[in-house]
Each structure stands twice: as structure tokens, then as C-alpha cells.
């Protein structure tokens, strides 16, 4: 199974390498205020991918943090509830903060 995983990785690497070598011609990127940047297509695509990845992660951070806080509150409430001490089961909280958690 490990061999199959490494074979898939090798194929993906070779396809990406082939794509990079096939797209070495120069392109122009037009920016606001009349700026023009020139560079190889593969670098423009890589930079665009990295910017998109960074923006996606930055936009997902606040919901992730809110979900973590909600999970910590739920865990603390579960530990402090009588059900954790062997008593009657505690009612589920209906704290609706819009996260669906």
C-alpha cells in the first residue's frame, strides 16, 4: 500500500513538473494604475495559487476560532454537569450563536 501511495505521488510530481516546463513563456500581468508585471507563466500561476490559499486560510480563521471556543465551552459544561459525576443526565444546551455547533 505504501508503494502505491509513493507511485501516486511520483505521478503527481511528474505531471506538475511537466506543466511547469511546458509553461515557461513570459506573460504580462496588468495591475491597477497602469502597472505591468512580466514573468514566466508558471510563476504567475504559482503566485496566484499561493495568494488564494493564504486568503482562504485567513478568511476561515475566525470561524475556526469561534468553533474552538464553542467546543471548549461545551466540554467545560459537560465536565461540570451532574451527569459527569454520575447524577442525572444534563439537558443539551440550545445556545444558538449561528455556528450550528
CA distance 50 to 46: 6
Per-residue pLDDT of the chain (101 residues), as tens digits, is 889 999 999 999 999 889 888 888 999 999 999 999 999 988 898 899 999 999 999 999 999 999 999 999 999 988 887 655 555 555 555 555 656 55
As beta bridge partners, residue 37 has 29
CB 99 within 8 A of CB 63: yes
Q: What cell was used for 16?
A: 506538475
Rounded to two decimals, what is the model's pTM?
A: 0.58
CB 39 within 8 A of CB 30: no
CB 30 within 8 A of CB 44: no
Task: Determine phi and psi for 14, rounding to 5 degrees.
Answer: -65, -35
Amino acid at each position: 500500500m505504501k508503494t502505491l501511495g509513493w507511485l501516486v505521488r511520483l505521478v503527481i510530481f511528474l505531471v506538475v513538473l511537466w506543466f511547469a516546463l511546458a509553461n515557461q513563456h513570459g506573460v504580462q500581468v496588468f495591475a491597477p494604475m497602469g502597472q505591468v508585471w512580466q514573468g514566466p507563466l508558471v510563476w504567475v500561476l504559482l503566485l496566484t495559487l499561493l495568494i488564494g490559499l493564504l486568503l482562504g486560510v485567513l478568511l476561515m480563521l475566525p470561524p475556526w476560532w469561534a468553533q474552538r471556543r464553542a467546543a471548549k465551552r461545551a466540554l467545560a459544561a459537560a465536565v461540570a454537569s451532574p451527569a459527569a459525576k454520575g447524577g442525572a443526565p444534563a439537558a443539551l444546551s440550545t445556545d444558538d450563536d449561528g455556528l450550528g455547533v
